Amino acid sequence: MDKPTSFANPANPANPAGPAALAIPELTARNFPSAEEDAAQVPEPALYGGPDSAYRLAFTDTDFLLREELRPVRMQLELLKPELVQREQGVESTIVIFGSARILPPDVAAARLADAQATQSLLPPDSDDATLRRAETAVLMSRYYDEARRFAAIATERSRALATPLFVVTGGGPGVMEAGNRGAFDVGGKSIGLNIVLPHEQAPNPYITPALCFQFHYFALRKMHFLMRSIALVCFPGGFGTLDELFETMTLVQNGKSRKRPILLFDRAFWTRLIDFDYLVETGMISAGDLRLFCYVETAEEAWDVLATHYGFNAQPTQTGELAVDI
């Protein structure tokens, strides 16, 4: 009588008598069409293709998704879409750069000053020179554009070899935001832009990585994404938006709702004139220890050194500090 046939089992050499491991697509095939397939295939009958028809699939029906009652679903989508895309793009840790949208690139500021000077020279000597003064101030402020651009380039370039590279994230607009994305672009790195729909807002700046250029409707979810992966907040001079993000981050850290991370304020002279932190301590509005929530820096190199020291970027790989942890 013949002996039973013995089958080798390449998937489990310890059990050579088992059946061979075979790839059988039918075992993992979908049992139902995907939503994408149905969305592409469902026809719209002429009788039910009008704007008042409820025939469309719920997830392709924009009118339905924009209903007031669907706000929780839309909020979930705005949280989920950037989260999934950033995971797919390998974004784990970010450096947030905030600053004024009104700060100009130095060459643009210089050109506007030249125009203002030419115009002023044609006016009577006693005419108002407010436009000229604003142009002169814009040239002085344009140095922050260069510093933000250099810092972003340094952070992108020097973190590239880390096990967890760092990605610059900005609000996606002009000014300091543009400078941050541009610095990463200069050295061939990816960067993120978290844009928001505003009545007067411009298009995203041209230096954001397209796959990481997002647009938000809900401010709260945009704020979440600024902080969820951030290992540092770098604030250049700015207005209400910059102050909003700065104080919100400091409040979250102060109250223990978010882990402590470096908060860098560029240009001590600007910030100490704008905000009297010592007076807040003097009047008991904050504690003296709260002044350690942030530090001042003056140059892009100094800002990077603060981060490198805090996280041990210059140490051996096994000594590198902890990076992004969800808030």
pLDDT per residue as tens digits for the range 102-154:
999 999 999 999 999 998 888 888 788 899 999 999 999 999 999 999 999 99
Q: What is the mean pLDDT of residues 33-58?
A: 81
**Res 318: pLDDT:** 52
- How far apart CA 258 and CA 256 sit, in angstroms, is 5
Say what percent of the chain tops pLDDT 90.
72
* All residues at 6 or more sequence positions from 203 whose CB lies less than 8 Å from its CB, including other chains: none
- How far apart CA 145 and CA 179 sit, in angstroms, is 6
- How far apart CA 15 and CA 23 sit, in angstroms, is 18
Domain borders along the chain are 25-66, 91-103+143-319, 106-139
Which CATH fold topology does 91-103+143-319 show?
Answer: Rossmann fold (3.40.50)
pLDDT per residue as tens digits for the range 279-325:
999 999 999 999 999 999 999 999 999 999 999 997 655 545 556 55
Alpha helix positions (H), 90-142: 106-121, 130-141
Query: Comparing C-alpha atoms, which of 57, 52, 65, 62 is closest to residue 40?
Result: 57
pLDDT per residue as tens digits for the range 32-41:
888 888 888 8
| CA 171 to chain centroid | 6
DSSP 8-class letter at 14: T
**Res 7: pLDDT:** 45
- How far apart CA 196 and CA 216 sit, in angstroms, is 5
pLDDT per residue as tens digits for the range 215-229:
999 999 999 999 999
**Res 244: pLDDT:** 96
- How far apart CA 96 and CA 264 sit, in angstroms, is 10
Q: What is the mean pLDDT of residues 254-267?
A: 96
Mean pLDDT over all residues of the chain?
Answer: 90
Q: What is the mean pLDDT of residues 10-20?
A: 53
pLDDT per residue as tens digits for the range 187-221:
999 999 999 998 876 789 999 999 999 999 999 99
**Res 271: pLDDT:** 98
**Res 12: pLDDT:** 53
**Res 326: pLDDT:** 52
